Amino acid sequence: MAINKKGHKKTEKVKLSPVTKLNTKFGAKLSAVVLTVMIISILVVSSPAQALNLNLNSSKSKISRGESVIFDASILINSNQPIQKLELDLSGPEKVSCFFNEDGSIISGCKGMTIRKISTDVPDSGYGYSYGYGYGSEVDPEYEITLASDDYKTGDYTSSLKAFIGDQVFTKDGSNLNIAASSAVSDSYYYGHAGTTKVCLNNGWTCSDWSGCSDGMQSRSCTARPNCYLDTRPQEQRSCLITLTSGSGLNGNTYDGLESTINLNSPNNGNSGSSGNSGSESDDPTVSMSTSQIFSNTLSGITGAVIGATSSPSQLAIIVAAIVLAIILGLIIGLVIVRVSRRSRRMRKIRELNRIRYIPPKQ
* 269 vs 119, residue with greater confidence: 119
211 Ramachandran zone, left/alpha/beta (phi>0; psi -120 to 50): beta
- Domain positions in the chain are 1-46+312-363, 51-181, 207-279
Question: pLDDT digits over 121-133, tens only?
Answer: 555 444 443 433 3
Distance CA 348, CA 350 (A): 5
What confidence score (pLDDT) does residue 167 get? 83
CATH superfamily of 51-181: Immunoglobulins (2.60.40.10)
Distance CA 337, CA 323 (A): 22
3-state secondary structure at position 214: strand
**pLDDT confidence bin for 215, thresholds 50/70/90:** confident
Distance CA 135, CA 110 (A): 34
Q: Is the pLDDT of residue 341 over 80?
A: yes
What confidence score (pLDDT) does residue 12 get? 54
Ranking 21-35, 260-274, 349-363 by mean pLDDT, the lowest is: 260-274
Mean pLDDT of 319-339: 87
Average pLDDT, the chain: 69
